[in-house]
């Protein structure tokens, strides 16, 4: 047990991961204490959370929302914009930051956290997709730890903990396959937003749920795993496992394969990351293998779900390609959710953006911001062209 409560900042506290993280924290008052919270624009729920947690500093990325919160809330200070988010992290004397922001907007707070030498519980996989090399080099330079919250990577973190370097042959990421598993390309032509949002095993925010339906989520996770564990892409496999009970596996040089199992509940990996290296009780049912009866596995259909192939290709190309892939995906998913793009056009926008933008070397975080902005503008033009076709 920790001697004094660990001081925790939760970024994106109004989202799916953020709310579950607050549940985890509230169950461990002796070990964890929230000291700062942030959101994009949902200022009313954010103030409510701050009141409940006794937090006196919050940040809203949206300036107008921050102004509204500043007028309505007398309980503390409201910081505004991306700079406000950075100040929230660097000025609060915290022990760990949970980054549960969605999208590449999470990169700057990731860099601010690691730059200060603060440990990072990372749900925002996009940080590593966009800036993997620079982000991991920064963590190494300051000695800050990155503890993954993504369930597959949390599983791998736990599985790899006892293994010596050189003994791990392969990492195997499991994928649920999403709501459209088994469908042909023709059957995906006219799927609706509602159908794509109906994930079979996990309840998550809108963007990652669409990423799970296209399998881009697994593509982003492949890149995330490469950077977290330093594993070459040729040694990372993906297998479809519809029940989402096995969260990932590692294959060792002596023929042993180790798996991490549990019911799909994000409070388990969130708790692992916030308490690491301790473990505390999480109220999840013990795994009942007999009741489950069988666990099944099947290959990924990369011909139908082109996003995983595109992510693999961008990962191998390297440089700014993963950043471009991610930005184009964010634009395309946003357009799909807004009814401006059909489901198969998500992959088409990403593929064409990658072809238009090419890949350049990454010299600095500024070059990533530039690649991100240019990819967004190219992808937005493609979305507009698809919409008017
Ligand atoms: P969500 O959409 O439910 O919540 C996102 C949070 O980020 C909200 O609090 C929102 O206010 C904030 N936010 C959004 N845009 C922002 C911006 N530009 N600047 C600052 N804050 C911003 O998303 P989620 O499902 O909780 O996912 C969060 C992250 O965790 C994503 O990277 C996702 O891939 C990852 N993740 C989520 C799950 C899950 O079960 N939900 C599982 C694994 C990984
Ligand atoms: Mg995951």
Tally of domains within the chain: 3
- Statement: residue 369 has pLDDT above 70: yes
Nearest CA to ligand 1 atom 23: 205
Read off the CATH number of the domain in which 123 is found: 3.40.50.720
Nearest CA to ligand 1 atom 36: 123
pLDDT, tens digit, 9 for 90 and up, residues 98-114: 999 999 999 999 999 99
d(CA 111, CA 96): 13
Where are any strands of DSSP class E within the chain? 6-11, 32-39, 57-60, 77-80, 96-99, 119-122, 146-148, 168-175, 236-240, 246-252, 257-261
Judged by its nearest atom, the ligand closest to the C-alpha of residue 269 is 1
Start-end of H helices in 116-249: 125-142, 151-160, 185-188, 193-197, 206-214, 216-229
Instruction: Give a yes or no: residue 136 inside a domain.
Output: yes
Q: Are residues 11 and 142 in the same domain?
A: yes
Report pLDDT for 199: 87
8 A C-beta contact, residue 147 and residue 122: yes
Q: Are residues 142 and 178 in the same domain?
A: no
3-state secondary structure 315-333: HHHCCCHHHHHHHHHHHHH
Instruction: Give a yes or no: residue 154 inside a domain.
Output: no
pLDDT, tens digit, 9 for 90 and up, residues 300-355: 999 999 999 999 999 999 999 999 999 999 999 999 999 999 999 999 999 999 99
Average pLDDT, integer, range 237-244: 98
Instruction: Give a yes or no: residue 191 inside a domain.
Output: yes
Nearest CA to ligand 1 atom 41: 204
pTM of the shown model: 0.97
Query: Which residues approach ligand 1 with their CB closer than 6 A?
Result: 12-18, 39-40, 42, 61, 100-103, 105, 123-126, 150, 202, 204-205, 207-208, 266
Instruction: Give a yes or no: residue 269 inside a domain.
Output: no
Domain that holds residue 36: 6-148
**Ligand 1 atom with least separation from CA of 124:** 32
Instruction: Give a yes or no: residue 313 inside a domain.
Output: no
Q: Are residues 213 and 136 in the same domain?
A: no
Q: Are residues 207 and 139 in the same domain?
A: no
Q: Are residues 128 and 167 in the same domain?
A: no
Read off the CATH number of the domain in which 353 is found: 1.10.1740.10
- The alpha carbon of residue 273 and the mean position of all alpha carbons in its chain are separated, in whole angstroms, by 14
Q: Are residues 172 and 138 in the same domain?
A: no
Nearest CA to ligand 1 atom 30: 123
Buried b / exposed e over 178-194, threshold 16 CB at 10 Å, is bbbbebeeeebeebeee
Confidence of residue 1 (pLDDT cuts 50, 70, 90): low
Judged by its nearest atom, the ligand closest to the C-alpha of residue 244 is 2
Instruction: Give a yes or no: residue 276 inside a domain.
Output: no
Q: Are residues 37 and 72 in the same domain?
A: yes
**Ligand 1 atom with least separation from CA of 220:** 34
Q: How far is the CA of 228 from the centre of ligand 2 (A)?
A: 14
**Ligand 1 atom with least separation from CA of 266:** 40
- What average pLDDT is seen over the chain? 97
Q: Are residues 174 and 295 in the same domain?
A: yes
Instruction: Give a yes or no: residue 1 inside a domain.
Output: no
Q: Are residues 94 and 167 in the same domain?
A: no
Q: Are residues 183 and 251 in the same domain?
A: yes
């Amino acid at each position: 047990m920790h001697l004094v409560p660990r001081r925790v900042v939760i970024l994106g506290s109004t989202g799916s991961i953020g709310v579950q993280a607050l549940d985890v924290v509230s169950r461990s008052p002796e070990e964890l204490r929230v000291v700062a919270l942030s959101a994009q624009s949902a200022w009313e729920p954010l103030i409510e959370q701050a009141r409940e947690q006794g937090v006196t500093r919050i940040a809203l990325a949206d300036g107008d929302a921050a102004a509204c919160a500043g007028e309505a809330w007398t309980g503390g200070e409201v910081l505004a914009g991306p700079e406000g988010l950075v100040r929230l992290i660097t000025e609060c004397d915290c022990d760990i930051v949970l980054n549960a922001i969605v999208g590449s907007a999470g990169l700057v707070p990731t860099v601010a956290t690691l730059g200060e030498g603060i440990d990072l519980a990372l749900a925002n996989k996009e940080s590593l997709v966009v800036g993997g090399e620079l982000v991991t080099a920064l963590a190494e330079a300051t000695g800050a730890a990155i503890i993954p919250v993504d369930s597959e990577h949390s599983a791998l973190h736990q599985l790899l903990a006892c293994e010596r370097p050189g003994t791990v042959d392969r990492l195997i990421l499991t994928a649920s396959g999403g709501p459209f598993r088994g469908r042909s390309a023709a059957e995906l032509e006219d799927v609706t937003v509602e159908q794509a949002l109906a994930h079979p095993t996990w309840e998550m925010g809108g963007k990652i749920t669409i990423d799970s339906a296209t399998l881009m989520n697994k593509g982003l996770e492949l890149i995330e795993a490469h950077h977290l564990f330093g594993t070459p892409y040729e040694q990372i496999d993906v297998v479809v496992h519809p029940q989402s009970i096995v969260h990932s596996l590692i294959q060792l040089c002596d023929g042993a394969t180790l798996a991490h199992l549990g019911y799909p509940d994000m409070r388990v990996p969130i708790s692992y990351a916030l308490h690491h290296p301790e473990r505390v009780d999480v109220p999840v049912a013990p795994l009942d293998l007999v009741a489950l009866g069988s666990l099944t596995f099947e290959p990924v259909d990369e011909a139908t779900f082109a996003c995983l192939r595109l992510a693999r290709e961008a990962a191998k190309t390297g440089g700014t390609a993963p950043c471009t892939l991610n930005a184009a995906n964010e634009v395309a998913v946003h357009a799909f959710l807004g009814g401006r793009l059909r489901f198969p056009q998500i992959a088409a926008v990403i593929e064409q953006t990658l072809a238009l933008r090419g890949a350049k070397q990454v010299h600095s975080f500024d070059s990533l911001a530039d690649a991100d902005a240019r990819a967004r503008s190219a992808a937005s033009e493609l979305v507009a062209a698809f919409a008017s076709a």
